[in-house]
Amino acid sequence: MESNAVVWFRKGLRIHDNPALDYACRGSSHIFPVFVLDPRYLHPDPSAFSLGSARAGLNRIRFLLDCLLDLDSSLRNLGSRLLVLKGHPEPASVICQILKDWNIQKLCYEFDTEPYGQARDRQVTDFASQHGIEVFSPVSHTLFDPAEVIKKNGGRPPLTYQSFVALAGKPPDPLAKTYSELPPVGNVGNVELLNIPTIEELGYKDIEQEEFSPFGGGESEALRRLKEVLKDKEWVANFEKPKGDPSAFWKPATTVLSPYLKFGCLSSRYFYHCLHNVYLTVGKHTSPPVSLVGQLLWREFFYTVAFGTPNFDQMRGNKICKQIPWKDDDKLLVAWREGRTGYPWIDAIMIQLKKWGWMHHLARHSVACFLTRGDLFIHWEKGRDVFERLLIDSDWAINNGNWLWLSCSAFFYQYHRIYSPISFGRKYDPDGKYIRHFLPVLKDMPNEYIYEPWTAPLSIQKKANCIIGKDYPRPVVVHDKASKECRKKMGEAYGKVGSVEEEDNVAASESTAMQKRKRRT
């Protein structure tokens, strides 16, 4: 008797530590490894199937296509292949259709915690249960099951990292399973299969003019990159996030494994397990929150809070989010988005985002602070949207969580602590190498003016072939004045009375700030 299983790949684009794939193979005569091209992330008109969607930029779609090619190649090496389907009108109905057409008894896919994924998966599980199809949906994108952590915490997500870590415990080990062969693909009948499209086939034009992300997608690349990282055991053991240099770009100060974790080309459990092994070998090592394991726990923390917080991705109706009367100013927003604020440190980061889709964590801090509570007082949701589209590691829980954090809307409340768009970058990169790379218009500006080019005398600007106000913008706001104004507005929004100077005296630790808040309420 035939027993057919579908493995539905969405994230989790890997063979290693993949419980959904493992379960699908058990006792099945055929497996159908499926990926559905989701119009939500493609062009608004799904029939056109061209890209440039509001939700996913070019670099991330290229990264995804790399992942699919790599997954297909790995599956083919095991006697299978990836079946790519057009997700029209939307992926859930396409899956329901093939469950019928292919006479499927078992549907396996990784559990998705995002609201969009949950709604999509509900449609499919409802259909499957009506038709007697078994659904296996393990939690394997994260180290822990967010629902379990929330349950342990009495039904509410833990709202501090420390309380999360105390509750979470030790994650399960990754599956040790390796394959020499997979069950063959069954008969696909008349179902239209697509080739994995190229970026050009998806409608991008003039792409040769862009500088692309240097990070290629796929499980093979993820594992190669992880191996490289693990080679330097001392580096792994001594990793301290706050000490990294955000301006290092050819050799970034962190692992750049985030896009691989985002698409699940790398299992977070496998990553954790490897780090643990290094710690065992080396002995002395750093600890959370600053260690590499600590970084993975930040990821878990945001996943858990996001899963347990209604309206996590917006200010309205979000119980953990401070209600702040952000300003609407499209001109300033566009200047920020396009890297034209006149502050080279900020603009270089935004251009790196556009060109590479990845920036160091502290670089993200700088531009997120600048857009929101630091200088422009623009809503964090607007910045979140820009990051969501352009980051190759764009991740619903982590992106929203960090924007809530940086805008002092949740988790972190020391709004008086503002990143200077001038001195913060200079501390790491006094010669402005990072700025010169991403903003070549400033490449000949002398070191002393590279962070504040508007202060350069006209003769110097002429010599550097960069006239401020013509070749490169003047600052859109005066930082000292704008940041004072922002602090004042934040103080008002937090329900405090008092001058800016008084706010400056707020104690420096997060816990003290939180205690003060508690006392006030």
Ligand X SMILES: Cc1cc2nc3c(=O)[nH]c(=O)nc-3n(C[C@H](O)[C@H](O)[C@H](O)COP(=O)(O)OP(=O)(O)OC[C@H]3O[C@@H](n4cnc5c(N)ncnc54)[C@H](O)[C@@H]3O)c2cc1C
Residue ranges binding ligand X (CB under 6 A): 241, 254-258, 261-262, 295-296, 298-299, 302, 360-361, 364-365, 368, 387, 391, 393-395, 398-399, 402-403, 406
What is the spatial distance between Cα 324 and Cα 521, in angstroms, rounded to a whole number? 17
**Contact in structure between 297 and 165 (CB atoms under 8 Å):** yes
Cβ 399 to ligand X shortest distance, Å: 3
Q: CA torsion 377→378→384→385, rounded to 10°?
A: -170
What SS3 class is residue 150? helix
Q: Strand, helix or coil at 106?
A: strand
Residue number, 213 or 255, with CB nearest to ligand X: 255
Q: 61 vs 391, which CB is nearer to ligand X? A: 391
Q: How far is the CB of 315 from ligand X (least distance, A)?
A: 15
Q: Of 373, 402, 393, 368, whose CA–CA distance to 383 is shortest?
A: 368
Estimate to the nearest angstrom the gap between the alpha carbon of 10 and the chain centroid.
Answer: 16
Cα distance between residue 476 and residue 231, in whole Å? 45
Which residue's structure tokens are 């330097």?
Answer: 232
One-character DSSP codes across 439-468: -GGGTTS-GGGTT-GGGS-HHHHHHTT--B
- Complex with ligand X: residue 290 or 441, whichever CB lies closer: 290
- Return all residues near 148 (Cβ < 8 A) that are at least 6 apart: none
**Closest distance to ligand X from the beta carbon of 402 (Å):** 3
Which is nearer to ligand X, 49 or 270 (by Cβ)? 270
Tokens of 171: 């994650």
At 46, list the tokens.
């799904």
Could you tell me the smallest distance in angstroms from the CB atom of residue 300 to ligand X? 8
| Rounded Cα–Cα distance for residues 516 and 506 (Å) | 9
Q: Tokens 């952000």 appear where?
A: 326
Nearer Cβ to ligand X, position 337 or 364? 364
In one letter, which amino acid is 505? N
The answer, yes or no, to whether the previous bond of 115 is cis (omega within 30 of 0) is: no
Distance of closest approach, residue 376 Cβ to ligand X, in angstroms = 14
Of 94 and 236, which has the nearer Cβ to ligand X? 236
Buried/exposed 431-454: b ≥16 CB within 10 Å, e otherwise: ebbbbbbbbebbeebeeebbbbbe
Strand 106-108's sheet: what is its strand order? Answer: 83-86, 30-37, 4-9, 106-108, 134-136
Smallest separation (angstroms) from ligand X to the CB of 335: 18
Cβ-based neighbours of 350, under 8 Å, separated by 6 or more: 336, 337, 338, 339, 341, 367
The residue among 110 and 395 lying less far from ligand X, judged by its C-beta, is 395
34/275 with CB nearer ligand X: 275
Nearer CB in complex with ligand X: 136/377: 377
Is the separation of the CB atoms in 219 and 262 below 8 Å?
Answer: no
Q: Report which of 20, 176, 218, 6 is spatially closest to residue 111, judged by C-alpha positions.
A: 20
Shortest approach of ligand X to residue 396 CB, angstroms?
A: 8
Supply the minimum distance, in Å, between the C-beta of residue 392 and ligand X: 9
Q: Considering the complex, what minimum distance in angstroms separates the CB of residue 192 from ligand X?
A: 33
- Residue located via tokens 């790398």: 266
Cβ-closest residue to ligand X?
Answer: 254
Q: Give the residue with the Cβ less far from ligand X, 253 or 466.
A: 253
Q: How many CA atoms lie within 13 A of 48 on its CB side?
A: 13
Least CB distance to ligand X at residue 391 (A): 5
Q: Which CB, 324 or 391, lies closer to ligand X?
A: 391
Residue 86 vs 262, nearer CB to ligand X: 262
Q: Shortest gap between Cβ of 374 and ligand X (angstroms)?
A: 12
Q: Residue-wise over 74-87: b if at least 16 C-beta within 10 A, else e? A: bbeeeebbbbbbbb
| Cβ 104 to ligand X shortest distance, Å | 33
